[in-house]
């Protein structure tokens, strides 16, 4: 298969390498995944140079790991991103063939057992959503690594200063939100340890509290011009563009969360009735939402003229490697960030919740009451939805009192 992707001269050079068989197998692995021609050529060339580098340093192939890859990439003048991607695939291929030992877990078995027990408590007792449990587990791992490192985990050694220092490191450069999330996560973890009798209640009290005033700020939303420019940024002449446009409409019109968009399945749509069913997620209840005409048209255009053939039941799937697999939240966020970049005033935005805020604001401006907005967004209480009364400028103008002295000036 080498002659399919390379000239005769390059094929002869590759076949003269001591690892010629390995390079040919690696090319077959990339071909089977469906990578583009240029990508395969770049990855095989990087693998060739990496194997030569190993020989010159008398490093055995079966001892290769991520640290060796980093040493090689740091000495290369080529694109680090391309080199990392190529060698990640090479390691994955070698591990699947049993030529390289499986990647060792960065978390020790004892710490992982603690995290698994904590996660079971969050799911079965607290009833937290999967997305919330994901970052709670992450902070629990980081906290144990910060406090104990490679030493034995002994809860009696835990001190209040260590708890405070761990949270404080997330507040660097004024990152208030990151420190707040870390504090909430560590407090939850310590409360569970206190429940088990492993730590004292004073450690829970040592976690810093961040004062947060409800309704102190306005939700960030798109203006009408920004909204139109944002939707026009998607190239609907391409299949992936039709998918991205449909995902964006689901968020900016229906107010769906990024996880809800990623979790949509084909059987959740009833195009004849014009509805979409949202499975129980963060609020633990199912919702049935009406599809607006523009959302319905975008979904039909994507399903009939853009969605790859796949057995995956998810509605939105990947158009690149691995083709046909369900999209991830990270992929959706990346798509929206690229769309923000071409909208004046939105270039620095990174998250997707602004689209949900925009959907709610547009509903309010169209005359929907708070109860209807709460039902569409899936809020459990109207208190959560009340923030959108602050951006309903026409109604605020009706109840606003005249500025003191206005009548006298007239």
Say how many residues make up the chain: 410
- Which one of the listed residues 31, 133, 282, 390 is annotated catalytic? 282
Cis preceding-peptide flag for 322 (omega within 30 of 0):
yes
Bridge partners (DSSP) listed for residue 265 = 314
Distance CA 33, CA 223 (A): 42
Cα–Cα distances in angstroms (integers) from residue 77 to residues 7, 52, 82, 91, in the given order: 24, 16, 11, 21
Cα–Cα distances in angstroms (integers) from residue 21 to residues 35, 59, 141, in the given order: 20, 19, 41
Tokens of 387: 């923030």
Cα–Cα distances in angstroms (integers) from residue 337 to residues 253, 319, 341, 354, in the given order: 18, 18, 6, 11
Reply yes or no on whether 113 is catalytic: no
Reply yes or no on whether 159 is catalytic: no
Distance CA 342, CA 230 (A): 8
Distance CA 305, CA 319 (A): 13
- Which one of the listed residues 108, 277, 353, 390 is annotated catalytic? 353
- Which one of the listed residues 243, 356, 362, 364 is annotated catalytic? 356
Report helix, strand or coil for 191. helix
Q: Give me the residue label for tokens 């620095």.
A: 348
Beta strands per DSSP E along 237-375: 269-270, 275-278, 287-290
Contact between residue 340 and residue 347 where contact means Cβ atoms under 8 Å apart: yes
Reply yes or no on whether 95 is catalytic: no
- Which one of the listed residues 136, 243, 257, 296 is annotated catalytic? 257
Reply yes or no on whether 356 is catalytic: yes
Reply yes or no on whether 257 is catalytic: yes
Q: Give me the residue label for tokens 């835990």.
A: 158
Q: Give me the residue label for tokens 């059987």.
A: 267
Cα-Cα-Cα-Cα dihedral sign, residues 397, 402, 406, 407: positive
Distance CA 231, CA 249 (A): 8
Distance CA 212, CA 226 (A): 29
Distance, first Cα to last Cα, the chain: 87
Reply yes or no on whether 92 is catalytic: no
Tokens of 331: 């992929």
Q: Which of 42, 43, 83, 90 is nearest to 65 (CA)?
A: 90
- Which one of the listed residues 29, 118, 245, 388 is annotated catalytic? 388
Task: Please list the alpha-helical segments (H only) found in 280-348.
Answer: 293-305, 329-340
Instruction: Write out the catalytic residue numbers.
Output: 257, 282, 353, 356, 379, 388
């Amino acid at each position: 298969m080498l002659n399919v992707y390379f000239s005769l001269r390059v094929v002869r050079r590759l076949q003269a390498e001591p690892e010629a068989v390995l390079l040919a197998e690696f090319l077959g692995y990339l071909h089977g995944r469906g990578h583009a021609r240029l990508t395969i050529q770049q990855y095989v060339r990087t693998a060739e140079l990496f194997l030569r580098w190993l020989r010159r340093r008398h490093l055995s192939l079966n001892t290769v790991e991520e640290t060796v890859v980093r040493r090689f990439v740091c000495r290369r003048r080529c694109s680090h991103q391309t080199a990392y991607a190529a060698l990640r695939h090479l390691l994955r291929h070698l591990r699947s063939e049993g030529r390289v030992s499986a990647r060792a877990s960065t978390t020790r078995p004892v710490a992982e057992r603690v995290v698994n027990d904590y996660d079971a408590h969050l799911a079965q007792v607290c009833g937290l959503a999967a997305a919330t449990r994901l970052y709670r587990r992450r902070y629990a791992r980081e906290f144990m690594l910060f406090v104990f490192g490679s030493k034995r985990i002994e809860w009696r050694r835990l001190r209040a200063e260590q708890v405070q220092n761990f949270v404080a490191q997330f507040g660097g450069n004024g990152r208030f939100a990151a420190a707040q999330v870390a504090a909430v996560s560590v407090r939850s973890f310590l409360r569970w340890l206190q429940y088990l009798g492993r730590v004292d209640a004073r450690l829970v009290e040592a976690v810093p509290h961040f004062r947060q005033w409800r309704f102190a700020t306005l939700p960030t939303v798109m203006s009408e011009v920004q909204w139109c420019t944002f939707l026009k940024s998607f190239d609907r002449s391409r299949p992936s563009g039709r998918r991205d446009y449909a995902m964006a409409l689901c968020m900016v019109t229906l107010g769906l969360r990024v996880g809800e968009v990623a979790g949509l399945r084909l059987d959740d749509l009833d195009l004849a009735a014009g509805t979409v069913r949202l499975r129980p997620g963060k609020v633990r209840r199912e919702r049935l939402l009406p599809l607006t005409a523009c959302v319905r048209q975008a979904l039909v255009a994507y399903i009939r003229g853009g969605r790859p053939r796949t057995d995956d039941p998810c509605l939105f799937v990947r158009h690149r490697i691995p083709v046909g697999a369900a999209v991830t939240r990270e992929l959706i966020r990346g798509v929206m960030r690229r769309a923000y970049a071409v909208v004046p005033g939105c270039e620095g935005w990174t998250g997707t919740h602004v689209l949900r805020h925009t959907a709610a604001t547009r509903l309010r401006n169209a005359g929907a009451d708070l109860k209807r907005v709460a039902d569409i967004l899936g809020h459990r209480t109207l208190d959560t939805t009340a923030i959108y009364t602050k951006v309903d400028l026409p109604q605020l103008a009706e109840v606003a009192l005249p500025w003191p002295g206005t009548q006298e000036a007239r």
